[in-house]
Structure 1
C-alpha cells in the first residue's frame, strides 16, 4: 500500500501540552491541551493557547476544558475535536489527512486507556494508528541509543504522569508510572498559598510561580515573586509576595514522591543494568524536568548522576516523530494496526 509520508504525524498527546511532529518538517505545533466550548450550542470557540487564556475568565455558558487528566483521556468527545483541530493546523491543508499517526501513551496505560487514545485518533481519518510508550519515545528524543545491551534510565515528567523506565535492547526492563507531575506541582502550590497566606490563586498563577521561582532543592539565593488572588478572609483582591523557599516547602511532598519512585525502580533493576546506569547516569525529560533543583534532589536520593536532556519539553514529540521510521516494528510490539475504510 502506498503511503504519503509527507502527512505522517507523530503526536505527544500530553495532559498539559500537545506537540505535533510532521515527517520531514519536525515539531510544527506546540499548544496547551485546552479547548473552549459553548455549552449551549456545543460549538468549539477556541483551541490551544487561545483557549488557555480563557481559563477562569469565561461566562457560565462557555467552559475551557482540559480533556486529558493524569495522562489519559477524561473527555473522549472533546479530545476528538481537539485532535482534529491540531492535526489540521499542523498539516496546513484544508483537505489533508494524516496517512499514519503514531501517538505516545504512559508506560502503564491500561488497555481501555490505550483504546480510547486510538479511537480518538481513528476519527481524524488516518489510514493507520500506532501507539508508543512515553519512556521509549523520550529516550529516542533525548538522543539515547536504546538498541544496545546497555542500561539507560529515563524519567519523563509531563503534566499528568511521571514515567520512569530502565531501557535495554529497545525495550523496557523495569518501569513505573505515577500520577504525580506538573499538574500536581501546580495543585500543591495552590494548596500551600491557600494554607499559608489565606489566599486563593488560580492554575495560571500557580504555574507562573512554579516556572519563575519554583524549586525542589534549596537555592543559593532565595527568589521572590508577587502574586495576586482573592483573600479568603475579606473576599477582596490581595497581593502577596511568595519566596522560592516557601515553594520548596509546598512542593516537597510531590517532588519527593518522584525521587522515591526513581529509587524504587533502581532497586528493581538487574545488577548489570544498574551498573550501566551508574556509569551513564539518569536522564530527565518533559516539562517537569525544568523545575529548578529536581535533578539535584533525585541525584541526592539515588547517588547516581542526573542529567536534564537538551530541549526536554520536545523530547517525547521528537522521539515519537523519529519512530515514524520504524512504525512497522512498533506495530508488531503493540498490535496497534488500525486500518480504515475509505
Structure 2
C-alpha cells in the first residue's frame, strides 16, 4: 500500500511519525551521528543515541533542533529524509503530503526552514502547524468551539501555553525551557550537593525513575553512579524524588509564571471558561510525577494530564491528515 500522507511531530528530544490507518510507526530520539571529517551520516534516532559517549573523537552525535527549531539545516534535512523514507518505504514512487509541527513562537524564517527541509527531504507538500493546536486536537479538545480551552505542551526544548477558541490561538507564551533543562538542572544539583559528575543520559534516567514536580511524604529513591569530582574515582549515591523536585523547582516556577502571563493576556470570558474546565497538559514533560498538582497549587486552576500526553501532537497531525480538505480551508490557512 502506497503511503501518501505523513504526520511528523518534530521535537527537540524525540520525533514521532504518524500514518493514517497505521498509527504511530516511528518514535525515536531526534539525534544524528556524523563522521566529522566528511559529514557522513552514520546513524539516526535510537541507533545514534546509543552511540553517545561510546564513540571515537571523529564520530559526533548531534541534536539538530535546539529549543524546538532547526539549529543545523543540513543535519535536519538528512534526518527528515531518513524518517520519511522509513515511513513510506524505500521504493515508494509517490511523494507524501506532510503535516509537521513547529513551536507557536517560531519566526517566519524558522518556519520556512522547516518547510524547505521537509520538501528537500522528500515531501510533496508540507503543512506547518503550530504545536499547541496539534496538541489540543490530539488531546481531544474541540478547537472550533467558541469556548476557551487552555493547553500546556511541555516538550524537550519548548514549554508552550495557549488559549484556543474558534479554531485559533487567542493568547500564548513560549519558553525555550523544557525537558532538556530539567536534565541539566539535575546534573547541576548533583554536582553542587554531592560533588559528583553525571552525564545527560543518567540525568534523564533519574528524571524518569525518580522525577517529581512536588516533594511527597513517600519518597522514591534512585541509586546513581558517577565520577567523584574530588577523588576522580567512580562513586555511588542515592538521590530521592524530593531532591529532584528541589532541583527542578526554579524551572517549574518559571513555567507557572509563563502560564500566568497567558491568563493576563486572555479576555475575561475565556479565562472563566478555563477556570471552569481546567488546563490540559500534554507533551513528554507531562509525564513528570505530580506536575498537574503543581500547576493546580500554584495557579489555583484545575489541571489534568491528557491521555497519552507524549503522542498528543503526533495524534493531532493524524486528525488533520484524516480531514485534510477541511483543514486546508480553515486551520492550514492561518499563520
TM-score by length of 2: 0.96
2:166 aligns with 169
1:4-43 residue pairs with structure 2 within 5 A? 6-43=3-40
Give the deviation of 1:42 after TM superposition: 2.1
Which structure 1 segments of 5+ residues have no match? 335-342
Alignment partner, residue 265 of structure 1: 262
Does residue 237 of structure 1 match 2:234? yes
User: 1:18-73, CA deviations, whole angstroms, 9 ceiling, x for partnerless residues?
Assistant: 00111222211110001111112322221111111111221101011111111011
Tell me, yes or no, if the aligned pair for 1:12 and 1:104 is still in contact at 8 Å: yes
The Cα shift of 1:125 comes to: 2.4
Cα RMSD for the two superposed structures: 1.4
- Using the size of structure 1 for normalisation, the TM-score is 0.94
Tell me which residue corresponds to 2:193: 196
Equivalence for 2:108 = 111
Q: CA separation in 2, counterparts of 1:68 and 1:125? A: 19
Selected match of 1:135 from 132, 154, 160: 132
Q: Identify which range, 120-129 or 65-74, moves more after superposition.
A: 120-129
Aligned-pair CA distance for 1:177: 0.4
Alignment length (residue pairs): 331
Using the alignment, how far apart are the partners of 1:24 and 1:53 within structure 2?
30
Summarize the alignment of residues 10-159 of structure 1 with structure 2, pairs less than 5 Å apart.
10-159=7-156
Give SS of 2:55's match: coil
* C-alpha separation in 1, matches of 2:233 and 2:55: 20
Q: How big is the shift at 1:235?
A: 1.5
Structure 1 window deviating more from structure 2 (74-83 vs 5-14): it is: 5-14
SS at match of 2:263: helix
**Equivalent residue number for residue 334 of structure 2:** 333
Q: How does 1:177-326 map to 2 (within 5 A)?
A: 177-324=174-321, 325-326=323-324
With over 3 angstroms needed to count, the CA separation of the structure-2 counterparts of 1:12 and 1:293, relative to structure 1, is: same
8 Å CA contact 1:142, 1:310 repeated in 2: yes
Once the two structures are TM-superposed, the CA of residue 97 in structure 1 deviates from its matched residue by: 4.8
- CA distance 1:45–1:5, shift in 2 (3 Å): closer
Contact 2:156–2:285 under 8 Å retained in 1: yes
Q: Note the C-alpha offset of 1:94.
A: 2.9
SS at match of 1:304: coil
Measured against aligned partners, the alpha-carbon deviations of 1:236-263 in whole angstroms (never above 9, x if no partner) come to 2111111111111111111111111112
